[in-house]
Chains A and B, each alone.
Chain A
Amino acid sequence: MYDLQSCFDEDSEEFKTLEYRICCGQLIQQDTIDKIKGIVAKPMPKTWYDWHSLSALPDDRREFYRRILANKKPYFMKYIYPTSARDYSSYLKQHSRNCMVKFGYNVEELMDKAENELSEAELWFLQKFNNALPLQRGNCIINKICKIFEDNFDSVKERRPSNEFDITVLKTDAKYTEAEFKAIKKLCKQYMEVIGKQYRRLRVTREERLDFSQKIQQTYDSFSDDCIKVCPNDEVRCNLIIDIAYGNETGKDFAWRTSGEEIVQQLLRKFGTVISFPVRNDDGDIEYGGDHFEMFALNVED
C-alpha cells in the first residue's frame, strides 16, 4: 500500500486512509500468523483489495474506495516473483505493439512526452494503460530505488562464465548411436517440462516439502525407467545423459539426479577407488570461509 499511498498528497483523505490501512494491515498480518495459537484473527476487508466487492458499496463512497484499492503488487516485486515479471513484460510488449500501430511510437516514448503534447486519443490510451497495469508504479521508496538500479544497470550485460569443465572426465569410452541420442534427448525435454510444471504447482499449492520431493524423485525414476527401455546399457546411457545435461539442454542437476550413482562408479573405476576431500583442520593449508582445511584421502574399496 505504500506505493499506492505515494500517489497522493500527504494532506489528502486518501493518504490518511491508506496510512490507517497500513497500520491495520500489520496487525491483521500478525494476528493471522498467531491464528494457530487460538487468536481470533479478523481478515482484511475485501473492499481494501478486491475490485468486485466495491459494487456492494454505496455510490458516494465507491469512487473513493476505487482510488485507494490496493489490488496490485508494487513494481519492484517483479524482481521477486517471476510470474509478476512475466505478466508485466507481456503486458508492456502487447501495449507497445498496439501503441506503435495506433500512434507510431511505443509506450515508453509516449509516457516521456509532456501531458500538454498528447492528443486526446493518446491520453486515453495512457490512462487505460496505467489503470490496467499488473504492477503499481507509484513513487514509493523501494520503487524509486528499483528505478535507480534499472537506469544504472540497463547498459550492463551479464557475462556468463565460460564452461571450462572437461566433461570427458565423467564419461567412459562407450559410444552411442544418433538414434539413441535423439530418443533420450526427446525424453529429457519432456521430463524437464513435467518437472518444471511440478515446481510451478508447488508454488501455488504449497504442498508439504517431503511429499513434493518424493513426487519429484518418482518423476526422475520414471524417466530412468523410460531411458532404460531406449538404451539398456548403463555406461552408454550415462554418457548420453552427461552429454545432454552438460550441453545446457537440461542442467547438470538432471544428470546427477538420474545417473549420479553410475557417474560416481565410472569415476572410481577410472581414477582408482581413492577419493580426496577437504576436512577441517586448524593446521591445514587450505583457507576458506575463515576456516582451515586439509585434503584427506579415503579408499572407498575398504
Chain B
Amino acid sequence: MNYSLNEFEDAQRYLSERLLEEDDDNQLRVIARYYMDEGCTRELAREKVCEFVCMCGESASLNYWSDKIDLAIKRAKKTPLIEADYISVSKAELNRIATLDGVRLQRLAFTLLCLSKYKGMRKENNDHWICVPDKDIFAMANIKVSLRKQASLYRTLMLSGFIRLPEDNNSISMQILFADDNADADSEIKVFKMRNLGYQYLKYLGGPYFECSNCGVTVKHRNDPDGKGRPQKYCDECAALIQAQQKTEFVMRLRAGRKVALLV
C-alpha cells in the first residue's frame, strides 16, 4: 500500500498522467475521494472513476476493475484525503527511542511512531492506534527478519512499554505509547516521505544515506560518499529513468544539429 502524505496532489497527478497501477489498492480510493470532495455524489464519482480507468489504456478492462471500483467508492466515503507537508518527530521521542537496545529495534520503534502520526492525520482522536499489516511495517522499517523474530521484536517493545496490544487476540492493531502530540514544537526530524523510514532514522544517526533529488526517497550510498568522484544524487530507479531521458535529449539535439548542418 502507498502511504502518501499528500493524497490530494497524488490524485491530481494520477488524473493528469493517466496512471493506473494494478498493485496500488489505494489509488482508486484517492481518486474517488478527490471527486467527492469536489462535490460529486457517489454515483457520479463512480462514473468518473470508471472513465478514468477506461482512459488509462486499451487493455484496462472494466470487467476486471468493477469490484475494485465499488470497494474504492465505499472506502472513499469514510476516509478523507491527507494533505500534509511532513511528519514531525520530536527530540524527546527520539531520546526515548534511543533507550532501546539495538538499532534494528530503534528503527522499528521509529517506523511505528511515524505510522501512528500518519494515522492520526486521517482520524482525529485516534489515540495513536495503528492497524497496518506487519509486512508493510517491516518493509518501511527496512528490516528483513523471520516471522518469529518479528514477533520477538514486538514483544521487546511491548515489555519496554513502547506499544500495547488490544484485548482482541485476532487483531493486528497496536497502540503506540510513546508518541508526543506536541512534536511540532520541538521537531528534530521532519519525515517528508513515508518510505524507507528505517533508512531515514539511520541517516539521522549519521549513516551513509541520502535523499534522492528526484523522488525524495532516502537510500543508501552505493559507494563511499567521502571517496573520490561526485556524490550519488539519485536512487537506482530514478537514475535509470534520468539516464534514459538524458540519452533521448542528447539524440534529439544531435539530430537537430545535423538537420541544421544539412540545411546550411
Q: Which A residues are within 8 Å of any B CB, using their own CB?
A: 91, 94-95, 97-102, 104, 125, 128-129, 132, 183, 186-187, 190-191, 193-194, 197, 219, 222, 226, 229-230
Contact = CB atoms under 8 A, between A and B. Distances in A.
Given A95-B169, A128-B169, A132-B170, A101 B64 contact: no
A241 to B, nearest CB: 15
User: Among A98, A125, A132, A219, which residue has the most Cβ atoms of chain B within 10 A?
Assistant: A98
B165 interface: yes
B155 interface: yes
A225 to B, nearest CB: 11
A216 to B, nearest CB: 13
A89 B171 CA distance: 15
Contact of B59 (A101, A132, A230): A230
Contacts of A95: 169-170
Nearest to A230: B59
Contact of A94 (B63, B148, B152, B170): B170
Contacts of A219: 63
Nearest to A183: B59
B2 interface: no
Say whether chain B's binding surface is mostly helix, strand, loop, or mixed. Answer: helix
B158 A187 contact: no
The A interface, classified by DSSP as helix, strand, loop or mixed, is: helix
B169 A101 contact: no
Given A125-B169, A132-B170, A97 B63 contact: no
B64 A91 contact: no
Nearest to B149: A100
Contacts of B64: 190-191, 193-194
Contacts of B150: 97
A102 B170 CA distance: 13
B168 to A, nearest CB: 9
B169 A99 contact: yes
A226 B61 contact: yes
A104 B67 contact: no
B262 to A, nearest CB: 33
Contacts of B154: 101
Nearest to B169: A98
Given A98-B165, A226-B59, A197 B152 contact: no
B151 A97 contact: yes
B260 interface: no
A101 B151 contact: yes
18 contacts: A97-B134, A97-B147, A98-B165, A98-B169, A100-B152, A100-B155, A101-B154, A101-B155, A104-B152, A183-B59, A187-B59, A190-B63, A191-B63, A193-B64, A194-B63, A226-B61, A230-B58, A230-B59
B172 interface: yes
Closest 8 CB pairs of A and B: A100-B151, A190-B64, A101-B154, A98-B169, A101-B155, A101-B151, A94-B170, A95-B169
Contacts of B165: 98, 101-102
B63 A186 contact: no
Contacts of B63: 190-191, 194, 219, 222
A91 B171 CA distance: 10
Max chain A CB contacts within 10 Å: which of B63, B165, B171, B172? B63
Interface string B135-153: 0000000000001101110
Contacts of B59: 183, 186-187, 226, 230
Interface string B55-74: 00011010110010000000
Contact of A102 (B148, B155, B171): B155
Contacts of A187: 59, 61
Contacts of B134: 97
